[in-house]
Amino acid sequence: MLTVTENKNLAQIVEAAVEKHGARPDAFIPILLEINHDYGYIPAEAIRLARKLLHQPEEHVLVSEGQLFGLASFYHMLHTEKTGRHVVQFCESAPCHVQGGRELWKAVQQTLQLQAGETDPEDRFTLKTVSCLGICGVGPVMLVDDDLYGNVTPDQLANIFAKYE
């Protein structure tokens, strides 16, 4: 995941995302994904800016900022709060749990020295849990940024996390 680019401000990032995906309400999720990728997360100001730039036909009821924030906070791949440089998403679904997920979760917390929702003091990692990553056949599963890891065992964690140091 990218962090804030020094030479790009939030307004420029939002405007570029809206221009790339179109100023239509049905493009809001791709716009949010673009902002999340380029800025590192989606602050409330980005939602306000994007809403102002979206063209909504008069016959439609305007979508409120609250509704858009709800949409942004619904998807696990979008972050509405500042995160570390790397986001670790751990699947806590039942299939992953019975395939060793509970032990792996404890090992992930111990290795990163984080609890769910926390970011380390150096802003390297943010640890999150998700209800499902959708590949139960290779559980336990975790996602680090856009890299998916399946059949993970505790002894693999040091090598996995070293890739992101």
pLDDT tens digits, residue range 12-50?
A: 999 999 999 998 878 889 999 999 989 989 999 999 999
Report the alpha-carbon distance of residue 52 to residue 10 in Å, rounded. Answer: 14
pLDDT at 61 over 60: no
d(Cα 79, Cα 1) in Å, to the nearest integer? Answer: 11
pTM: predicted TM-score of the whole model, two decimal places = 0.76
Domains and CATH numbers, the chain: 10-74 (no CATH), 86-162 (3.40.30.10)
pLDDT > 80? residue 104? yes
Categorize the per-residue pLDDT at 57 as very low, low, confident or very high, splitting at 50, 70 and 90: low
pLDDT average, residue stretch 69-75:
81
